[in-house]
Structure 1
Amino acid sequence: MKRKSAGAGRNAAGKGEALSVSAVERIVRECGFAPETGQVEQLAEYLSLVLKWNKVMNLIGPYSWEEALRTLIMDSLHLARFLESLSLPESPSCWDFGAGAGLPGIPLRVVWGKGTYHLVEVREKRALFMQQTVARLKLPNTHVFRGRAEDFMAEQEPADILLSRAFMPWEKLLDFAGSNVAPTGRVIILAIEDVPATLPEGWRLEARHEYAVGADTRYFWALAPIIASS
């Protein structure tokens, strides 16, 4: 999924208000969410870890903690709300391809812990970051697979949820992994454009959601396989 530039007015990391649990909670509540205290603490710790590792491996680019929270992590909180609105199994299996810095998956798992979640990343250093972060935050039933998505899928039962922030264009994602989604599963597209008038053959739109992040509008689409009648 492509992202717009945060703009020339971006503050340098480390300037402005210091990162703290209370500052994170204030911003999250301003954005319309009410996480538990322990979840806010985990979000603040995740931010701290991302910024620390970002200095040596460019996980997210030159974001301050507040910009990362408002521009990147807020997607995960909206996504948790969207997933709650869908008809999913009680304990869904979820695949997150090209997980990189753990976005949207790690903040999502802080506030939405259903089922089993797999963060799939081929790049060793990013996978190591996610492994250490998942362990540090004690996220239940959340696993990191370092390797190719093809190799991961070969070892798994079909997914109930397949999502990706920026693994590949959504049409290619459907071709690449759509056959590995359960008949009752969903592919969740994180997009900066609305649903097209025509979807690829074999897929239908189950639900969509749009929300604002600053001056931008972002979208979620839940695509479901069309089950052929016998």
Structure 2
Amino acid sequence: MSQMQPEDVLAAGVDALGVPVSPGVQASLLAFLRMLVEWNGAYNLTAVRDPVEMVSRHLLDSLTVLPHLCGNSVADVGSGAGLPGIPLAIADPKRRVVLLESNGKKVRFLRHVVGRLGLSQVSVIQARAESTRLSPPVDTVVARAVADLATLCDYARRLGVADVRMVAMKGPDVTAELATLPADFVVQAVLPVVVPGLEAQRHLICLQRTSEQRIEIRDQ
């Protein structure tokens, strides 16, 4: 795979994932990739340096979330270099996307990408999730390597609608975290994810907030 070009790896990868991604969307994803490579040296956005490896680890990994979003809006908590939020926004331009990131350098990069790609439905907020509320709230909250599930559920309460969906991108072992879920969230699915070109095992954990215990939740 190392001899292939990023565009070839991306085209083969989206086909393997079965995610409907048009040639135009792929072109925008590659434009995002080029900006990520360009800014990475000065801003240390990701430890991955090889553009071909970035396709699997960042673009394709982000796109695995796309079929599991619900509603018309999504918040990417701790967005970092825009992962998974930017690829999701490129792939589905009709859905409102909020990128929540506290690091100033990364926020500058995110705003640069949003402007260059004309992602008018994307807003970038420099803030920490634990001290933020969104108005209007979002339908889905996503997070990639940010915090444990219990903490992510707390973020989702603050950022989302009453029955918000939480999609957490996790590694191989999720059993211990699932045991710590708060009472007002139920597990909808725990999905093993195979990312083309990536040997590391991944899971998507899809949670839904329920109404039964909502009265017991207090602001902190």
TM-score range, shorter chain: 0.7 to 0.9
Structure 1 distance, partners of 2:132, 2:9, is: 38
Query: Does the CA-based 8 Å contact 1:184-1:225 persist in structure 2?
Result: yes
Contact 1:82 1:209 in 2 (8 A): no
The verdict on how the C-alpha distance between 1:24 and 1:118 changes in structure 2, with shifts beyond 3 A counting, is same
CA deviation after TM superposition for structure 1 residue 149, in Å: 2.6
What's the CA shift string for 1:119-160, capped at 9, x where partnerless?
01111110010001011111231111112334531x523331
1:26 and 1:148, CA in 2 relative to 1: closer, same or farther beyond 3 A? same
Q: Which runs of 5+ in 2 are unaligned?
A: 216-220
Aligned residue for 2:112?
Answer: 132
Residues in 1 aligned to 2:138 and 2:102: alpha-carbon distance in whole angstroms: 19
Match of 2:141, SS?
strand
1:164 alignment partner AA: A
SS at match of 1:216: coil
CA 1:181–1:33 in 2, change beyond 3 Å: closer, same or farther? closer
Per mean C-alpha deviation after superposition, the further-off stretch among 37-46 and 26-35 is 26-35
Q: Please point out which of 199, 215, 226 is paired with 2:199.
A: 215
Aligned length: 209
User: Is 1:191 aligned to 2:170, yes or no?
Assistant: yes
Q: 1:137 to 1:180 in 2, by over 3 A?
A: closer
Q: 1:70 aligns with which of 46, 53, 56?
A: 56
Deviations 1:38-71, CA, capped at 9 Å, x for gaps: 1111111111000010011111114311101112
Residue-by-residue CA offset, 1:161-203 (whole Å, 9 max, x unaligned) = 1111133222222234425432222111111146536433221
Q: Which moved more, 1:114-123 or 1:179-188?
A: 179-188
2:187 matched residue in structure 1: 205
What residue in structure 1 maps to residue 80 of structure 2? 100
- 1:78 Cα deviation (Å)? 1.1
Does the Cα contact within 8 Å between 1:145 and 1:152 map onto a contact in 2?
A: no
Distance of 2:64 and 2:204 partners within structure 1: 9
Distance 1:132 1:179, change over 3 A: closer
Which residue of structure 1 aligns with residue 22 of structure 2?
36
Counterparts in 2 of 1:35 and 1:159: CA distance versus 1, 3 Å = closer
Structure 2 partner of 1:61: 47
- Residues 74 and 139, structure 2, Cα contact 8 Å, conserved in 1: yes
Give the residue type in structure 2 aligned to 1:223: L
Q: In structure 2, what is the Cα distance between the partners aligned to 1:151 and 1:200?
A: 19
Does the CA contact (< 8 Å) of 2:156 and 2:166 recur in 1? no
**Does the 8 A contact of 2:156 with 2:164 survive in 1?**
no
> What is the letter of the counterpart of residue 140 of structure 2?
I
Q: Alignment partner for residue 91 of structure 2, among 94, 107, 111?
A: 111
Q: Which residue of 2 aligns with 1:162?
A: 141
* Percent of pairs with identical residues: 26
Separation of aligned partners in 2, 1:180 and 1:130: 20
C-alpha displacement of 1:95: 1.3
Q: Aligned partner of 1:156: which letter?
A: S
CA distance in 1, matches of 2:189, 2:120: 27
